[in-house]
């Protein structure tokens, strides 16, 4: 039988150590349709570090934002959908859309099957 123990040191709520406002992260708007159920946002910093999972080790795998809801690898041409502001960086998803021309990509992208 175990008994709960009180913490050795009492827990205190975190308090700000400075009177400065926190830095605001820059965001990239991924949906211009204001009539949609919600505007999707992805931090610009995230878009800067995301890479194609196939090409990242050999070629770099830099991605370009296309139609505001797709990430397209500049090396291999795989296309990864952004669904509800979450980039779906699965190789199977990139392969599924690989042959489709960028102009024909559906907006909004369909949810991945699974």
Q: What is the pLDDT of residues 30-63, one digit of tens each?
A: 434 444 444 445 677 888 899 999 999 999 999 9
What is the average pLDDT across 50-78?
Answer: 95
What is the average pLDDT across 88-96?
Answer: 96
What is the average pLDDT across 86-91?
Answer: 94
The mean predicted confidence, pLDDT, of the chain is: 76
Per-residue pLDDT at 47: 82
What is the average pLDDT across 3-32?
Answer: 47
Q: Answer left, alpha or beta for residue 84, where phi above 0 means left and psi between -120 and 50 means alpha.
A: left
Question: Is the Cβ–Cβ distance between 60 and 75 less than 8 Å?
Answer: yes
Per-residue pLDDT at 46: 84
pTM to 2 decimal places: 0.65
- Give the DSSP letter string of 10-72: -------SSSSPPPPPPEEE----TTSS---EEEHHHHHH-B-TTTTTTT--BEEEETTTEEE
pLDDT higher than threshold 90 for residue 76: yes
Domain chopping of the chain, boundaries: 27-104
Per-residue pLDDT at 45: 82
Phi, psi (5° rounding) for residue 63? -110, 145
């Amino acid at each position: 039988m175990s008994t709960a123990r009180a913490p050795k040191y009492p827990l205190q709520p975190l308090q700000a150590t400075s009177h400065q406002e926190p830095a605001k992260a820059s965001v990239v708007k991924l949906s211009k349709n204001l009539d949609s159920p919600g505007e999707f946002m992805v931090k610009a910093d995230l878009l800067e570090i995301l890479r194609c999972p196939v090409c990242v080790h050999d070629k770099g795998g830099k991605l370009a934002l296309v139609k505001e809801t797709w990430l397209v690898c500049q090396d291999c041409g795989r296309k990864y959908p952004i669904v509800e502001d979450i980039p779906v960086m699965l190789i199977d998803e990139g392969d599924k859309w690989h042959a489709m021309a960028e102009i024909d990509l559906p907006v909004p992208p369909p949810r991945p099957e699974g």
